[in-house]
A and B are shown apart, each in its own frame.
Chain A
């Protein structure tokens, strides 16, 4: 069942096969959780939003057009669920960095280095406008095309290109600074 295509799994789900829906959730869980985390920042909030997205998609599966790819349709619902959750809740800001990791302390080990880079990237992402960071994550991390992202975010394709360009510029600068620092 793992290799069954999305449209077939959707059809089986609509027919009442919950196991087919389970395969879809398993297939898209990582992607949905990352996209939700890009929007919300907090991993627990992100998981709640991703769950909302999957369950909302389950209820709306009858509206899905099987001629189109399932991923962008689902990610649109997940991104909307994350945005709704962010609006409803006063989302906790990212924890401040541990001063010992920022610099001046002993040279951290590889895990700590990776952890700090992750923290910095997450902080940088949260500084970007929501649409911009979601566009970058959908393009670079999840591999969606500009046209698909345009459909997911409900914006023109040219705007997606612009958002990806500006978002990357900020993140690449941060990444380059980081590499200089740990060299």
Chain B
């Protein structure tokens, strides 16, 4: 009895099948027929450069718009000065500063106010 395991090839069956499936026409003619389509197949299979560019058009526009918006928001955040805090405004300064001016019991002299303004600059 023949080994029915699929691990070994069956030469008799192989020969019969090979004969049954043998191509009808000449091999050289078949090769020539395939080679006649060589250039056409390559032309058909190559994607033109413009098509590649076109496929990137929409994603490219979207990416550029996103970069523009991000740049605008970032630039605005950097260029806008942060408001000074109250503590900063009252920070002690050398000489007669703003703190002395605000906490003084008596109205300040005009020269003191002027000096304070100059120091603030």
Contacts and interface: CB of A to CB of B under 8 A. Distances in A.
Contacts of B24: 43-44, 47
Contact of A22 (B2, B6, B31): B31
Contacts of A43: 23-25
Given A125-B20, A146-B6, A18 B30 contact: no
Task: Tell me if A's interface is mostly helix, strand, loop or mixed.
Answer: helix
Contacts of B41: 55-56, 58-59
Interface stretch (A66-74, A84-92, A169-177): A169-177
B9 A140 contact: yes
Interface stretch (B11-19, B53-61, B76-84, B113-121): B11-19
B30 A50 contact: yes
Interface residues of B, number: 32
Contacts of A59: 41-42, 44-45
Interface string B32-49: 011101100110110000
B47 to A, nearest CB: 10
B21 interface: yes
B103 interface: no
A38 B21 contact: yes
B4 interface: yes
A118 B38 contact: no
Contacts of B27: 26, 29-30
Given A21-B35, A47-B24, 13 more contacts: A18-B38, A25-B34, A29-B27, A29-B30, A33-B23, A37-B23, A47-B25, A59-B42, A59-B45, A117-B19, A118-B20, A121-B16, A122-B20
